[in-house]
Structure 1
Amino acid sequence: MLDVQVDDVGPPADWVKINVRATNDSFEVYALVPGLSLDEVRFQSDPAGRLISTGKPNQLDNFWGVTSFKKVVTLPARIDQLQTHADLTLHGCLHVHVPFVQQNL
């Protein structure tokens, strides 16, 4: 079991589901953000192992009740923020590939 912490910043957004798994060289972060498009979702990372994910629907009064959110995911290791990248599917599945920092041997 990974020691991952997910915190809401501001109003709770329980409709955003986040799951993290570790591979041999990275964390794979999956978030369900249905109803949001690529231009409505942002994420930032820092070397300490934090991912900050935010979403803001272009249309605040929407049929699905999608609201703005900001979540901080604290990962249990240092990460390579320059190699971190994300993809969002048309179905609202956000995938963030987060490589570990490579140690110089």
Structure 2
Amino acid sequence: MESCYHGCQCGLPANWVKINVRETKDCFEVYALVPGLLWEEVQVQSDPAGRLVITGQPEQLDNPWGIVAFKKVISLPSRIDLLCTSTIMSLHGRLLVVVPFEQSNI
């Protein structure tokens, strides 16, 4: 497994899926390039421990681009707010996931 960012463990070999994580003052911005996949072929899940899982499954398995199913697991170094996580995907396979930090109730 390759390490990408703060302990990011990337899952099944899918070197064509590029991931970049940027930390801002109140969230993580996770950028992923998943060219050739449609919005409905990509799924993003998160858990309170700070893990973000991005999976992709092309509807057409014998597609001419050679795109195969993948799974990327990114372990973020902070607790995250599941209810406010948002995902945007462009027509060209650019995925942006905004993951806010969990707010403390102190």
Match of 1:3 in 2: 6
Kindly state the Cα deviation for residue 55 of structure 1 after the two structures are TM-superposed: 0.3
DSSP-derived class of the 1:5 partner: coil
Deviations 1:25-71 (A, max 9, x none): 00000000000000000010001000011100010111111100011
Query: In structure 2, what is the Cα distance between the partners aligned to 1:95 and 1:60?
Result: 25
Matches within 5 A, 1:1-105: 3-8=6-11, 11-105=12-106
TM-score, normalising length from structure 2?
0.92
RMSD over aligned CA atoms reads 1.0
Q: Higher strand fraction: Structure 1 or Structure 2?
A: 1
Deviation at 1:103, TM superposition (A): 1.1
Give SS of 1:6's match. coil
User: Normalised by the size of structure 1, how large is the TM-score?
Assistant: 0.93
What are structure 2's unaligned runs of at least 5 residues?
none
Shift of 1:85: 1.0
Equivalent pairs, count: 102
